[in-house]
C-alpha cells in the first residue's frame, strides 16, 4: 500500500538587495536592521521606496503612541555663533530612563539646533493664532490679485502659499537642517520608532542678541566721506 505524502511548498522571496543595502538603509533612516530588511523585501529592493515605507511605518507607530502620557523629558539649551543666538527647548518622553539616554539627549540637541538656525515662531500649526493666519491669507490674496492672477484660482494659490507660511513659522513643518529630505515631524516620527516611546516637543524660547533693539547702521564709506568733507 502506497502512502500518500503531503507535498509542502516553501515560499521563497527573491531578494533584490544585498546586506550592504540593508546597512545603507539603516544608516539613512536609523531604523532597526530587521525593519530595514523587511522594508526592502516589501519594496522589491527599491531603496527610495523602502525609505518611504519606513517613514510611513514611523508615522503609524508615532500615531499609536500619541495617546500615551509623556511627562518626563529634558530642558536643553544650545548656544550658537559664540553667544549671538541662544535656545531653550523642552522635549518630553514617557520615562526618565529614556530621558537620560544619549539618544534622547541627541534629539534635544538636534531640535535646539533647528530652532537656532530656522527661527520658528510656533511648535505646530495648531499653535498659530487664528487672527495671524487670517491676516496672512489676506496679504497673500492681495499679492495674488496684484500679480494679475484670475480670481477663480486665487483661493488655490493662497492655500498653497499658506502651506509655505506654515513651513516657515511652525517647527514641526520645517525641513530638518541636518537632513532637508525630512521635516521635523518626520524626524520625530523616526526617533519615536527607534526609541519606542512617545516624543513630544512642548515649548521653546529663542533669543538673538540685540533683537528688538535699535541698531546702529555703520557704513564705512559714508563715514570716510564725512571726514573728508569736514577736513576741507
Q: What is the pLDDT of residue 144?
A: 83
The CATH number of the domain covering residues in 19-65: 1.10.8.10
Q: What is the pLDDT of residue 7?
A: 41
Query: Which of the two residues, 27 and 102, has the higher pLDDT score?
Result: 102
Q: What is the pLDDT of residue 67?
A: 73
List the domain boundaries for the chain.
19-65, 72-208
Is 19-65's fold the same as 72-208's? no
Q: What are phi and psi of 204, to 5 degrees?
A: -155, 165
The CATH architecture of the domain made up of 72-208 is 2-Layer Sandwich (3.30)
Q: Is there a contact between 36 and 29 (Cβ–Cβ < 8 Å)?
A: yes
Query: Which of the two residues, 175 and 230, has the higher pLDDT score?
Result: 175
Check pLDDT > 70 for residue 185: yes
Q: What is the pLDDT of residue 130?
A: 94
Average pLDDT over residues 29-52: 84
Calpha distance 166→133 (Å, rounded): 9
Percent of the chain past pLDDT 70, that is, above it, reads 81
Residue 213's pLDDT band (cuts 50, 70, 90): confident
The C-alpha cell at 14 is 527573491
Most confident of 143-157, 179-193, 206-220: 179-193
Give one word for 86, left, alpha or beta, with left for phi > 0 and alpha for psi -120 to 50.
beta
For the ranges 13-22, 72-81, 131-140, which has the lowest average pLDDT? 13-22
Query: Which of the two residues, 87 and 55, has the higher pLDDT score?
Result: 87
Instruction: With CA atoms as reference, report the closest residue to 72 among 186, 197, 172, 161.
Output: 197
Rg of the chain, C-alpha, whole Å: 26
CB under 8 Å to 219, separation ≥6 — which residues? Answer: none
Q: Is there a contact between 35 and 54 (Cβ–Cβ < 8 Å)?
A: yes
Average pLDDT over residues 137-159: 84
Percent of the chain past pLDDT 90, that is, above it, reads 44
Give one word for 175, left, alpha or beta, with left for phi > 0 and alpha for psi -120 to 50.
beta
Calpha distance 187→15 (Å, rounded): 28
**Other beta carbons within 10 Å of 173:** 20
Amino acid at each position: 500500500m502506497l502512502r500518500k505524502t503531503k507535498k509542502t511548498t516553501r515560499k521563497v522571496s527573491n531578494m533584490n538587495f544585498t546586506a550592504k543595502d540593508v546597512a545603507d538603509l539603516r544608516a539613512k533612516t536609523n531604523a532597526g536592521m530587521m525593519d530595514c530588511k523587511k522594508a526592502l523585501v516589501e519594496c522589491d529592493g527599491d531603496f527610495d521606496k523602502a525609505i518611504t515605507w519606513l517613514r510611513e511605518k514611523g508615522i503609524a507607530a508615532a500615531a499609536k503612541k500619541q495617546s500615551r502620557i509623556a511627562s518626563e523629558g529634558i530642558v536643553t539649551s544650545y548656544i550658537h555663533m559664540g553667544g549671538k543666538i541662544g535656545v531653550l527647548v523642552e522635549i518630553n518622553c514617557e520615562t526618565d530612563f529614556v530621558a537620560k539616554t544619549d539618544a534622547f539627549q541627541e534629539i534635544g540637541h538636534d531640535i535646539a539646533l533647528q530652532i537656532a538656525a530656522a527661527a520658528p515662531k510656533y511648535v505646530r500649526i495648531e499653535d498659530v493664532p487664528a487672527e495671524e493666519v487670517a491676516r496672512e491669507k489676506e496679504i497673500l490674496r492681495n499679492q495674488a490679485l496684484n500679480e494679475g492672477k484670475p480670481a477663480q484660482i486665487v483661493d488655490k494659490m493662497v492655500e498653497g502659499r499658506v502651506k509655505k507660511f506654515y513651513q516657515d513659522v511652525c517647527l514641526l513643518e520645517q525641513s530638518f537642517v541636518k537632513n532637508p529630505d525630512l521635516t521635523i515631524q518626520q524626524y520625530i516620527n523616526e526617533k519615536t520608532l527607534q526609541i519606542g516611546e512617545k516624543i513630544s516637543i512642548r515649548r521653546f524660547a529663542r533669543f538673538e542678541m540685540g533683537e528688538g533693539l535699535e541698531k546702529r547702521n555703520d557704513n564705512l564709506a559714508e563715514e570716510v566721506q564725512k571726514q573728508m568733507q569736514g577736513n576741507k
